Copies of this chain bind each other. A is one copy, B any other.
């Protein structure tokens, strides 16, 4: 008699992204699952879950036919890069590459060419899939990567192969067209690496971070638990009926996990290619989009859009805002202009896959008046269940929960990166004493709510005090006449550094620098929200604040051109 116990199908049953992919196909094979709108042509592509799944099977077969090798927990599989926007092809790649045991490397094409070349060669990408509009980009870097990359796959809604100097090029349609629409997905070890993401490298070369199937799986189910625990009456429970629009690009840290969570939930996925205001509005109206994720600067673009009221946006129920703190003023404007708008802040980074801290209304607070709840929502939030998050001083001790003392955020848990890819030294800098050190500074209130204060490197050091720039930025943006605001330090003989404000005005606003300062005195100092020494010495009203490739204020860029900005600013005191 055979006394087999099958641990591989019981206690070792692997947590694989394959499980996410199969759920909608099994439950809703003939429902429309994936909608892509080409932002250039406004053409729509719709797929049932079965159609999308069969395309993904074809792609998986084609990858194996090209000799793509599967990984083990100790040795990652072949790296497959994408230079691609947010569309069904990219979603097919997300699953086909990872679920055959290879490693998906989505490239942020907004990085400098030098950094793009570095990541491709550092990752040793075997194949690159790229969109037709990035042909010039790929041709431009071709000579620097052709020794690494074996094959180029051209993604286009249009038929045919382009004229190009790139050798070893095949089109996506040719590639999957050769294969039959069925595939036996392998039962991988859950610690097989699934993705490779690079940091944006604002302070040096981008660093690579690999995530395993297990890590991504556990991030998604724990974020799900957070929603499950929520008692916030303003949080819409959309479940399977959610229709999410992907505004966060798919090359940006797993698009905050949406390609995984939305597929597992069998939602209808709405993929806009890239963000355009008219594309956003049209898709919301046409597909009855219910939720989306945004960075504050994109939210600002929507609110400024003159044709906004021509569209029916009434299906929107939940707009999550992250990537940077959401200014109260921007939130107030958005609530007026976007029906059903509720905002939720959050925090994460490439190294954390990214979701770690989100807005959450504790059950003891859900009875609070709307005004109090909104103050809560502007705080960054609390840790996702299953993760350990602390704010610690330089000795590694937790700071008091007094909503005042600041310290560094440290994290550990099942979906925090283990190491920077092929970079032991940088790994040892961030992993110390059993905690991943984020380099971000925050305070914690009595209820455990964390508020991000700053990047350690962005802190303004005035005398012995640290000026919390995010606090100032949030306060400033509550002014009706201000759209966006950022703060940074300028050299000062007496204090070392003093704060300078850089703001953009709301459309139609005519206020000047003195009005900004006056607002800060009246709403900040007099109401006890900031102290007098935090008031900026300089204020600059400008047309545009420099941003990074992911839409955050680019403080490195600002510091580079500090003299120029300083010369245009008004010295207030």
- List chain A positions with a Cβ less than 8 A from chain B: 1-11, 13, 15, 19, 23, 26-28, 31, 191, 212, 214-215, 218, 221-222, 224-225, 227-231, 237-241, 264-266, 362-364, 366, 382, 385-386, 412-414, 416-419, 424-425, 427-428, 431, 434-436, 448
Contact = CB atoms under 8 A, between A and B. Distances in A.
Contacts of A15: 218, 414
Contacts of A419: 5
23 contacts: A1-B425, A9-B436, A10-B414, A10-B416, A11-B191, A11-B212, A11-B214, A19-B385, A27-B382, A27-B448, A28-B363, A28-B364, A224-B225, A224-B228, A225-B228, A228-B228, A228-B239, A228-B265, A230-B239, A230-B240, A237-B237, A239-B363, A264-B385
Nearest to A7: B418
B11 A215 contact: yes
Contacts of A416: 9-10, 13
A27 B361 CA distance: 11
Contacts of A4: 428, 431
A186 to B, nearest CB: 14
A265 B386 CA distance: 12
A434 B266 contact: no
A362 B29 CA distance: 13
Contact of A240 (B224, B238, B362): B362
Residue from A10, A229, A418, A428 having most chain B Cβ neighbours under 10 A:
A10
B6 A418 contact: yes
Contact of A362 (B27, B214, B215, B238): B27
Nearest to A238: B231
Nearest to A366: B241
B424 A3 contact: yes
Given A11-B418, A27-B362, 13 more contacts: A3-B427, A5-B418, A6-B431, A6-B434, A11-B191, A15-B414, A229-B239, A229-B240, A230-B239, A230-B240, A231-B239, A231-B240, A241-B366
